[in-house]
Amino acid sequence: MKILLIDPHSGKRSIGLENVARIEPLSLELVAAGVSRQHEVCIVDLMVRPGT
């Protein structure tokens, strides 16, 4: 099974650490680590642009 985990862009009006620094989507990484190896997991982080 293919599993896609998405970290959406939170926007400028949100309150949180995203407005101060770029952070990894650790919660999604933990979920991906818990998935059985027979599945393919992909994480998409919409907080960054490709190539940056």
20-31 confidence digits (pLDDT tens):
667 777 889 999
CA distance 4 to 13: 26
Q: Is residue 52 part of a domain?
A: no
pLDDT tens for 1-52 read 999 999 887 666 666 665 566 777 788 999 999 999 999 999 988 876 666 5
Q: Which residues pair with 43 in a beta bridge?
A: 5
User: Does residue 51 sit within a domain?
Assistant: no
Q: What is the 3-state secondary structure (H, E, C) of the chain?
A: CEEEEEECCCCCCCCCHHHCCCCCCHHHHHHHHCCCCCCEEEEEECCCCCCC
Counted domains in the chain: 1
Within a domain: residue 33? yes
Asked if residue 27 belongs to a domain, the reply is: yes
Q: Which residue has the tokens 């027979």?
A: 38
Range of the domain at 21: 2-45
Q: Is residue 9 part of a domain?
A: yes
- Phi and psi at 18, nearest 5°, equal -60, -25
